[in-house]
Amino acid sequence: MYRKFFHSIENLSDKDSLSLNTVIENLSFNDSKLIPVITQDAESKEVLMFAWMNREALEQTLETKRMTYWSRSRQQLWVKGETSGHSQTLVSMAFDCDGDAVLCLIDQSGAACHTGRPDCFYLKVDTEKQRVLISADASKT
């Protein structure tokens, strides 16, 4: 059903708008009722992290402007920064053309990664040497 909805809106003009609730109703949550979220720094556009949201986390994020995710390991809502103090404030949210991914632009306070690094993507692949390099040091944050 979600694909039909998102396919039906492909040709809307830039001046059209849709009810947020209608779009959320048609998002493609997976079998675990989760949707992937890419979190990006609003200013630099650097990708900071990847996480998951359930509908409650998505709605709470929109309501509070504090990034709220679903922790698969703890099986509970996780408000970024609640324990670490490294918080994320929502600047904007967008959905992809299939309704199966969320992009959040945020203001980051402190480190984005639980390791203390600025972002979660510090394991850089060197294809020539067939190695993975550690690119960011937690002590620099």
Are the CB atoms for 101 and 95 separated by under 8 Å?
yes
Strand pairing partners for 107?
Answer: 89
- The order of strands in the sheet holding 35-41 is 47-53, 35-41, 102-108, 88-95
State residue 138's pLDDT score. Answer: 56
pLDDT recorded at residue 137? 67
Q: pLDDT per residue over 1-14, tens digit each?
A: 567 999 999 999 99
What domains are defined for the chain? Answer: 2-110 (3.10.20.810)
What pLDDT shows up at residue 141?
42
The pLDDT assigned to 131 comes to 95
Residue 136 has pLDDT above 80, yes or no: no
Model pLDDT for residues 75-132, shown as the tens digit of each residue: 999 999 998 899 999 999 999 999 999 999 999 999 999 899 999 999 999 999 999 9
Q: What is the pLDDT of residue 2?
A: 60
CA 126 – CA 119 distance, rounded (Å): 18
